[in-house]
Amino acid sequence: MTRPMKSPIISLIRLDEPTPQHDGWICTPHGRDSCTRDIVAVAELQTKDAVQPYRVCEAWLTENTRAVAYLAENGYDNR
């Protein structure tokens, strides 16, 4: 189950290379228990009072409609 994400993405940065999850470096939307994939990007989400970093795996980038729309419109912010 993916936690619903209501906050808009304000940036999406592709990592230089996929990084295995470790310690506190986990897939934010899927959580430690349901995702063992490598982290491939970091999204910044604008919540009500803060900008929250979201570490995400490749699957999230294709299953999350906001991420798909963001990439279609903007691409990665570091490319």
Site residue total, Zn ion (CB under 5 A): 4
Residue 37 carries which DSSP code?
S
Q: Dmax of the chain from CA atoms?
A: 33
Q: Which is nearer to Zn ion, 34 or 49 (CB)?
A: 34
Cα–Cα distance measured from residue 3 to residue 28, given in angstroms and rounded to the nearest whole number: 9
Residue 57 as a binder of Zn ion (CB under 5 A): the answer is yes
Q: Which is nearer to Zn ion, 57 or 67 (CB)?
A: 57
Stretch that binds Zn ion, among 7-15, 19-27, 41-49, 63-71 (CB under 5 A): 19-27
User: Coil, strand or helix: which one is 49?
Assistant: coil
